[in-house]
Amino acid sequence: MSQSAWNIALLQMDVKIGEPERNVETVRRMAREAMEGSERPDVLVIPEMWNTGYALDRIHELADPEGRTLRELLSGLAKTYGVHIVGGSIAEKRTGGVYNTIYAFDREGREVADYSKIHLFRLMDEEKYLQSGDKPGTLELDGVPAAMMICYDIRFPELARKLALGGARVLFLPAEWPHPRLHHWRTLQMARAIENQMYVVSCNRVGVSGGTAFFGHSMIVDPWGEIVAEGGEQECIVRGRIDLGLVEDVRGRIPVFEDRRPSLY
Ligand SMILES: O=C(O)CCC(=O)C(=O)O
């Protein structure tokens, strides 16, 4: 089955640094709230590192071993509500260290994909505490090819292009992106959406942690670069509907992929 449209709900939460249990309660509450009302979402998206925040100096003690507890939680929520979940990213402990990893689940609660952030953000010392993943993030939901990146990854156009050439029609982007780079955040998502003619669906956190203020502005950008939905700076659920047929329409009108000259650059 290939779906023609999705209702999306972005759980733009305030992540409490170093308090996984409180953050679990927030995710449970916001997932429940997202499912209320007439426009039931098809997909829920959660921010980056939502279990721990950037408690990097304690990350080895706080990270979820193999992501076991949180994978069970997210799978249970997906099954209970009959919704796909792109489970933000979590700090998870594996052999070799702590990874910043997205797990994704389908409406039956089956784990369908995982992706560990491959570009670690040196401005926030990630490379000192985290291990980087070594494969791009692809998934399929309702037969729709999609992709996953995390926060800083959006600065790497080569990665988004590779995922689009691989067939992705929607790019999911959990993030913890702070002030003062709101202009970069919005512009980079619009650019990736326009140049790859795909939806970009991001979920950023809000709140202040360790002196850093996170601005939210979770977004859904369509393949023309138009903003379908955008959050403010408070904790909230950002909702929007995406028409998956628009991807083929835009790709047909301006055939960027066919017009590429990769032998020249
Ligand atoms: O690239 C940026 O400006 C922010 C990236 C970031 O905060 C992250 O990857 O966690």
Q: Considering the chain, what is the average pLDDT of its residues? A: 97
Residues β-bridged to residue 174: 203
CA 147 to centroid of ligand 1, rounded, Å: 19
CA 135 to centroid of ligand 1, rounded, Å: 19
User: Catalytic: 203?
Assistant: no
Q: Is the pLDDT of residue 2 over 80?
A: no
Question: Residue 214 to residues 18, 32, 182, 203, 251: CA-CA distances in angstroms?
Answer: 16, 24, 9, 12, 34
As a whole number, mean pLDDT of residues 1-19 equals 91
- For residues 111 and 131, give the distance between their C-alpha atoms in angstroms, rounded to a whole number: 22
In a domain, 89, yes or no: yes
Band of residue 116 on the pLDDT scale cut at 50, 70, 90: very high
Question: Which CATH number belongs to the domain containing residue 206 in this structure?
Answer: 3.60.110.10
User: Catalytic: 236?
Assistant: no
Q: Is the pLDDT of residue 129 over 80?
A: yes
Q: Is the pLDDT of residue 39 over 90?
A: no
Say what the pLDDT of residue 1 is. 46
Q: Is the pLDDT of residue 89 over 90?
A: yes
As a whole number, mean pLDDT of residues 75-93 equals 98
CA 38-140-163 angle, 5° bins = 120
In a domain, 264, yes or no: no
Domain count, the chain: 1
Q: What is the pLDDT of residues 164-199, one digit of tens each?
A: 999 999 999 999 999 999 999 999 999 999 999 999
In a domain, 198, yes or no: yes
Which of 92, 93, 126, 151 is an active site residue?
151
> Which range of residues forms the domain containing residue 27?
5-259
Sort residue 211 into left (φ over 0), alpha (ψ -120 to 50) or beta: left
User: Catalytic: 48?
Assistant: yes
Q: Is the pLDDT of residue 207 over 60?
A: yes
In a domain, 123, yes or no: yes
In a domain, 265, yes or no: no
